[in-house]
Amino acid sequence: MASVVIVEDEQRIRELMARALADRGFDVESASTAMDGLQAVVHGSPDLVILDMGLPDLDGRELLKMIRAVSEVPVIVATARGEDRDMVSALNAGADDYVVKPFSVDQLEARVNAVLRRAKTNGGTHPLVVGALEVDPGARRARLAGMPLDLSPKEFDLLRYLAERQGEVVSRRELLAEVWRQPYGGSEKTVDVHLSWLRRKLGESASEPRYVETVFGVGVRLVEPTE
């Protein structure tokens, strides 16, 4: 039985979600403030967190960062309609998916199941090694020649996605869909910007690539440097 922590300050929505997920066999714990939510995540080690962005004591994004600092748990954020900026910044801060209010119980359940399925298939926590580069998905840390890399959550997700497919060419569209969770829309420029930041941290550039190789017109791949 999968366990879910719901952090939502509106009682009606919180109870509706809790009841719906409990009816579908989930073990549900709910919290009405960010601080109670953080406690529940730290002590309960849930399989999934549903996080409202508008909480009374702390911005949902801040709570997400605090959760990410201590846990890899999949997080679905709930935002109000029209607050796209919230949603984008939550995804950039490490959320796995989102729902826009008002959402139906079926919609929520579909997202929950999809995220849990993804978490299971991505569950490998063995460090991935590409040349002198080591990516540890469990600890969300990467090192180059033994030196820790200071990566943002998105840069880490991007590097991890490429490292899991080393040698394979991955398109920008695929990266938008899988790393940014934007299967429709989204800008490939976003991918390019993050790739260039990642390259800088790996001590390389597009004109002098080492690990991140561009395959013109197709995408990028992570390779072991040749020298």
Residues that bind Ca ion (CB under 5 A): 9, 52, 54
- Which of residues 80 and 206 has its CB atom nearest to Ca ion in the complex? 80
The residue assigned the tokens 């940014």 is 180
- Which of residues 58 and 114 has its CB atom nearest to Ca ion in the complex? 58
Computed over its alpha carbons, how large is the radius of gyration of the chain? 18
Work out how close the CB of 10 gets to Ca ion at its nearest, in angstroms, rounded to a whole number: 5
Instruction: Tell me if the bond preceding 148 is cis, omega within 30° of 0.
Output: no
Total Cβ atoms within 10 A of residue 174: 15
Q: CA 144, 148, 149, 151: dihedral to nearest 10 degrees?
A: 140
78-87: long-range contacts (C-beta < 8 A, 24 or more apart)?
78/8, 78/50, 78/51, 78/52, 78/53, 78/103, 79/53, 80/53, 80/54, 83/53, 86/53, 86/60, 86/61, 87/53
Return the SS3 of 211.
coil
Work out how close the CB of 16 gets to Ca ion at its nearest, in angstroms, rounded to a whole number: 13
The residue assigned the tokens 């390019």 is 192
Work out how close the CB of 91 gets to Ca ion at its nearest, in angstroms, rounded to a whole number: 18
- Asked if 202 and 133 touch (Cβ cutoff 8 Å), the reply is yes
- Which of residues 52 and 96 has its CB atom nearest to Ca ion in the complex? 52
Work out how close the CB of 80 gets to Ca ion at its nearest, in angstroms, rounded to a whole number: 8
Stretch (H or E) spanning 216? none
Work out how close the CB of 74 gets to Ca ion at its nearest, in angstroms, rounded to a whole number: 20
Work out how close the CB of 93 gets to Ca ion at its nearest, in angstroms, rounded to a whole number: 17
* Residue whose C-beta lies closest to Ca ion: 54
- Which of residues 52 and 155 has its CB atom nearest to Ca ion in the complex? 52
- Which of residues 6 and 112 has its CB atom nearest to Ca ion in the complex? 6
